[in-house]
Every structure is written in C-alpha cells, then in structure tokens.
Amino acid sequence: MDMLNLQNVTKEYEPGKKALKSVSMSVPANGIFALIGRNGAGKTTLIRILSTQLSLTSGRASVDGLDVMKDAQDLREIIACVPQEGRAIGWLTPRQFIVSYLMWRGFSSKEATERFEKVMKELGISRYSDTLNRMLSGGTKRKVLVGMVIASEARILFLDEPTTGLDPISRHDLWSTLSRLKKDRFIFLTTHYLEEAEALADNIGIMEEGRLMSLGTLDELRNHVKYPYSIKILSDYRAKKPRQGDLIKGVDGHIQIVTTEKEARRISRHLIDKKVKFAMNPLTLDDIFYYIVRKPIEGEESNEEEEY
Amino acid sequence: MKKRSISSQLIASIMVNAIYAMVNYPIVLVSTILAPFSLLIVISFISHGSLTPVAIGGALIMTMISSGTSMQQDLSHLKNDFKVQDMIVSSPVRAWVYFLGMSLSQIVYVIPALIALVILAAVYIHATAIGYLSIIAVMLIMFVFASALGFVLSTLSSDVVQSWGFSGIVSTVMSALPPVYYPITYIPMPFQYLAYLSPATYAAEIVQNITGLTSFSTGTILIDWTVIIAVTAAMLFIAMKKSKWRED
C-alpha cells in the first residue's frame, strides 16, 4: 500500500489564489520522501494538509490509508510534525519541552524522561538538557525540535525544512540520524537543499507554483530528463541551443546546456577552442530541479544562431 | 494503538504553561500574586474601607476572569510564535484535552493570589455557607466563560499583534465596563446600561448581594444567575463549534 495518496488536491486560501493546483501522487511506504521546490511552491501547504493542520479545498488525500479529513483523529495517533517556523518554547529547557511534548502524546513522566535522555544522547546534545531553549544556538534549537518528534512513538514524521539554519556539520549529523530513523519510520521532509534530498531521500517530489512537476527516485528523475549531461557556462559567452538537448538558466544565473554525452563532448571541445570557462558533469539533482522548473531563456527556441 | 494517559496530557499543559514558567522565572510568581491587589487596595483606600468586602469579592471574580482571558494571550503566543498548536494538532492530543489542560494551568497560575484573597474574604466577607458556595460557583462559571472565550480567540488569531487587539477588547468588556470592585449604583445613568453588556456585571451583582453591602431583589439575582449560566453555555458551544483547531 502507498504511504501517501493524493488525488487532485487543491488548496485555495482566497478565491482565485491557489496554493496547490490539483496535485496527485502516490508515494511508496519506504524510507524518506523529500519534497523540493522554491519558496511559495506549495511545499508547506502540502505538508500542513497531510499532517492534518490545514483543510484542503478539494480533492482527496490519505496517509497510510487514512483520509486526512475524515480520519484525522486516527491519523494523528501515528504522526508527528516539526512545522517550518516551529521553535522550542523559549522559557523551557529541552528537558522540560520534550518531556512535556511526550506527555502531551500520553506518555507517563517516567517513560517520557527515558525517551528524552535517549534522544538527547543520540543527537549529541545531552549537555544542553537543562539550558533554557532561548539560550541555545539556532542549530541546537532545531535539533531539540527534531529530537521532540524522534523521541515520540509516531511512525510517520513530517519535517518541514528541518535543517534550515543548521551549519554544515550539524546538518550532516542530522542526516545521519534521519538515515538511521528511516529504517523503521516514514519521513516526509521538505527542503531547499537539493543535496539533502539527494543524500537522504528514497523518493523525491519536485513542486513548482502549486503543481507537482515530477516524482520518483533519483534515478527515475534522471531518466525523466532525457539528457544525462550538463555543461555550465561560467563566463559571459552567449550559449546557443545544442543540436540535442536544452538550454536552461540555473539558480546562480549561469546558462546551462543539458544534453547527451556525445553532444556534451562535442560542445566542450568547441568551448575549449573558444576559451570559454565551463564545467561539465553528469546531471545532479540540482540540474534536474532547474531543468524541470526552468524558465524559458530568450532565444532558446531560436535556431538562427550559428551552431557549435 | 498506544493507550494515551489523559492525566499525563493535562499535566503537560499545566507544567508548560504554569509550573515551568514560575520555576524558570520566579518574577512571574510575584507578579501573579500582586496582580489582583492593585484595584482592591485603591478601592479600599478611596472608600476608607467601606467597600473592602465588595472589592475583595470583585478581586475574586476578576482573578478568575483574567486568568481565563489571559489564556487567549498565552495560547496565541504559543501558537503564533512557537507553532505549538501546529505541533499539538499533528499529535494524538484532542482539542478539548488541550483546552482543559491549558485552563487548569491558568488556575494553577493564580493559586497563590487566590489563597491570599480567600484569607482576606474569610476576614472581611461575612456570609453564610451557601453564600460562600455561591461565590465559588460564580467564580467557576466566570472562569469557564472567560477561558472558553480565550481559547476561541487564540485559535482564531494568526498573529500575536492580532491577539493584543482581541485582548484590548476583552479587557474593556470584562474589566473596565463592569462594576466589579464597586456597586453598580456608583455608575451614573444611562451608563449603567452599558455595564450590563458585560457578563461580569451580573456575576458582580450576585457577589455584592452576598457581601450585604448592596442588596438586589430576588428577581434580579435570579436573572443574574440565568445570564451568567446562559452566556457560559453559549460560549462553550461556540468554543466547540467555532474554534479553529485545524485551519481552513
């Protein structure tokens, strides 16, 4: 059975202002599902609907076979969520905060304390157990929040941008924790860090302007893009559309040629001759993402230019 | 499915919203104890002590009302600044358990002040056992009304600034408008009619009648009881139906 099943899910905050536009998808029950997309793509709206915080306007959505609208109370028994702008309550210590959260979930004080000790050790932040949350660094505060849901018994975790604001070392530490967790839990995470999705996710969804643009494993997404190689032009050179492939604009403003291996070799020779700085690589998730959500580049379709 | 302990869930709310706040910031405890005494002292001084019993009765009612309505600000803060309501909604906690737990936390918060006021009431208010029981009943009814109102408003607020707006209106209707610390006859006509827009006025009339300094007809007192019970039932109904546990 699929873990997530969405059929034409639409969310309209105000008439005519759709945050989700008929999103349909099925996600298998294994491991980590990462949803990536730019700001305003609809990731948070979707995670809030699936974690029963927000009503959908039309369509149907279920998590582990439970309808998010009709079976919300049953679903809440098995989920936990770290909201995007969630913060550990400032006037509490991590111990007070996490133990209280677990008691809210119905654990006894003793059981909650045992789970708290275990998770703090696992996250390597035991020494901050009794420091007020407001005194902690941003990264440690995020870890406390993630620790809160990890310590729970929930077998489905929704993490909305859990590593935002973490330094690279803390982020990698958290990745290790999430990788261990995915063996016996399903984790739905949204992220801006494409390398995070690449490193962690078993399945990846790409959203853009309220629509699901693509969904699959990293290999499936690679196959979704017909061309396996990317050439990033690093100088002012006006690149042209290749014989085979596409011309796209990356996040950093660089022009990128996505093409076949053979064509990539041919173009690279041409660029070397022209003394143009460039980088050639097999497609990464970044390339796939920008390929899928790309904006047309002026002249992209034009064949008037001289060929490479 | 895991068996959930409701008592654990209630204790969690009490710990987060009352005990830990007082333990981690003892100044909160001092402020909580002092809060109800400011107007009580002013009224007692101005009236040369003659209105002290009325003011004590008023302080008892207002302590319960303010602790209920302050739930609005506490929960709005937790909801909008920490996203605690989102974390709780996506968990097995039911809305009514959260409401009950947070309401109890407000009571715990004001226990020190209540103890002091009860001692003063025992000294200054000379009433029958039924009179004392009636005062307790009025306090509880007003607390349920105020906390249900606070809960509804907190779930509707989307920003802490908006919650300050709610708070200002609630404070005017529940604290400034009603003659809780002094008899309603002190308010000139036709402004007395304005006072009757607040449920606290009806509660105050019952308590002031018990203190003996102001007397109302049996009919008036019956109307007072009817009004406070009816508005509380209505507010509980609104809390059940209109609270935004899951956002639209």
pLDDT confidence of residue A307: 60
Burial of B173 (0-12, 13-18, 19+ CB in 10 A): middle
Give the whole-angstrom CA distance, residue B174 versus residue A237.
71
Q: Examine the pLDDT at A305 and tell me if it is beyond 50.
A: no
Q: Examine the pLDDT at A15 and tell me if it is beyond 70.
A: yes
Shortest distance between the Cα of B238 and any Cα of chain A, in A, equals 20
Q: Examine the pLDDT at B42 and tell me if it is beyond 80.
A: yes
**Could you read off the pLDDT of B197-216 as tens digits, one per residue?**
999 999 999 999 998 878 89
- Paired sense of beta strands A79-82 and A156-160, if any: parallel
| Sign of the alpha-carbon torsion through B157, B162, B163, B166 | negative
| Sign of the alpha-carbon torsion through A110, A114, A120, A121 | positive
Using a CB-CB distance cutoff of 8 angstroms, which residues of chain A are in contact with residue B86?
48, 51, 53, 81, 83, 86
For residues B102 and B13, is the Cβ–Cβ distance under 8 A?
yes
SS3 at position A296: coil
Distance in Å from the first CA to the final CA of chain A: 50
Q: What values do phi and psi take at A69, rounded to 5?
A: -95, -50
Which of A63, A74, A103 to probe the B interface (max B CBs under 10 A)?
Answer: A103
- Paired sense of beta strands A4-14 and A17-27, if any: antiparallel
For residues A107 and A76, is the Cβ–Cβ distance under 8 A?
no
Q: Examine the pLDDT at B97 and tell me if it is beyond 80.
A: yes
Give the whole-angstrom CA distance, residue B245 versus residue A133.
26
pLDDT confidence of residue A300: 47
Mean pLDDT, residues B153-167 taken together: 86
pLDDT level of residue A292 (50, 70, 90 thresholds): confident
Q: Examine the pLDDT at A294 and tell me if it is beyond 80.
A: no
pLDDT level of residue A295 (50, 70, 90 thresholds): low
pLDDT top residue among B153 and B36: B153
For residues A90 and A113, is the Cβ–Cβ distance under 8 A?
no
Give the whole-angstrom CA distance, residue B75 versus residue B80.
8
- Six-digit token string for A66: 């439970």
Distance in Å from the first CA to the final CA of chain B: 28
For residue A219, give the amino acid letter.
D
Q: Examine the pLDDT at A238 and tell me if it is beyond 70.
A: yes
Indicate the residue of B8, B86, B248 with minimum beta-carbon distance to A55: B248
Mean pLDDT, residues B224-229 taken together: 97
Total tally of structural domains belonging to chain B: 1
Give the whole-angstrom CA distance, residue A90 versus residue B83.
12
User: Helix B129-156 and helix B52-82: axis angle, to 10°?
Assistant: 30
**Could you read off the pLDDT of A36-82 as tens digits, one per residue?**
998 899 999 999 999 999 999 999 999 999 999 999 999 999 999 99
Using a CB-CB distance cutoff of 8 angstroms, which residues of chain B are in contact with residue A159?
none
Chain B residues interacting with chain A (CB cutoff of 8 angstroms): 1-6, 8-9, 11-13, 15-16, 20-21, 24-25, 78, 81-84, 86-94, 98, 246-248
Using a CB-CB distance cutoff of 8 angstroms, which residues of chain A are in contact with residue B87?
80-83, 86, 101, 148
pLDDT confidence of residue B1: 59
Q: Examine the pLDDT at A171 and tell me if it is beyond 90.
A: no
Q: Is residue B56 part of a domain?
A: yes
- Six-digit token string for B22: 């007082």
For residue B247, list its beta bridge partners: A54
Please give the sequence-ordered ranges of beta strands (E in DSSP) within chain B, or none if there are none: none
Residue of A nearest to B21 (CA): A91
Shortest distance between the Cα of B65 and any Cα of chain A, in A, equals 25
Share of chain B above pLDDT 90, in %: 55
Are B87 and A152 within 8 A, CB to CB?
A: no
ipTM of the complex: 0.87
Are B1 and A77 within 8 A, CB to CB?
A: yes
Q: Examine the pLDDT at B6 and tell me if it is beyond 70.
A: yes
Burial of B10 (0-12, 13-18, 19+ CB in 10 A): buried
What DSSP string runs through A191-255?
ES-HHHHHHH-SEEEEEETTEEEEEE-HHHHHHHSS--EEEEE-SS------SSSEEEE-TTS-E
- Six-digit token string for B30: 């001092």
For residues A166 and A139, is the Cβ–Cβ distance under 8 A?
yes
Shortest distance between the Cα of A95 and any Cα of chain B, in A, equals 11
Q: Is residue B1 part of a domain?
A: no
Q: Is residue B13 part of a domain?
A: yes
Are B89 and A88 within 8 A, CB to CB?
A: no
For residues B228 and B203, is the Cβ–Cβ distance under 8 A?
yes
Which of B91, B93, B248 to probe the A interface (max A CBs under 10 A)?
Answer: B91
Mean pLDDT, residues B188-198 taken together: 89
Give the whole-angstrom CA distance, residue B90 versus residue B92.
7
pLDDT top residue among B135 and A254: B135
Shortest distance between the Cα of B82 and any Cα of chain A, in A, equals 5
Chain A residues interacting with chain B (CB cutoff of 8 angstroms): 48, 51-55, 72-73, 76-77, 79-93, 96-97, 100-101, 103-109, 112, 132, 148, 152-154, 158
For residues B52 and B214, is the Cβ–Cβ distance under 8 A?
no
Indicate the residue of B5, B82, B94 with minimum beta-carbon distance to A87: B82
pLDDT confidence of residue B177: 86
pLDDT confidence of residue A223: 81
Mean pLDDT, residues A157-163 taken together: 94
Indicate the residue of B9, B20, B247 with minimum beta-carbon distance to A104: B9
Mean pLDDT, chain A, whole residue set: 90
Which of A96, A97, A100, A159 to probe the B interface (max B CBs under 10 A)?
Answer: A100
What letter would DSSP give residue B239? H
Give the whole-angstrom CA distance, residue B216 versus residue B206.
8
SS3 at position B92: coil
Q: Examine the pLDDT at B52 and tell me if it is beyond 80.
A: yes
Characterise A214 by phi-psi region: left (phi > 0), alpha (psi -120 to 50), beta (else). Answer: beta
Name the residue among A170, A80, A97, A167 with its Cα closest to residue A131. A97
Share of chain A above pLDDT 90, in %: 62
pLDDT confidence of residue A30: 81
Using a CB-CB distance cutoff of 8 angstroms, which residues of chain B are in contact with residue A55?
246-248
Using a CB-CB distance cutoff of 8 angstroms, which residues of chain B are in contact with residue A116?
none
Give the whole-angstrom CA distance, residue B48 versus residue B9.
48
Q: Which domain holds residue B123?
A: 6-242
Using a CB-CB distance cutoff of 8 angstroms, which residues of chain B are in contact with residue A154?
91
For residues B101 and B7, is the Cβ–Cβ distance under 8 A?
no
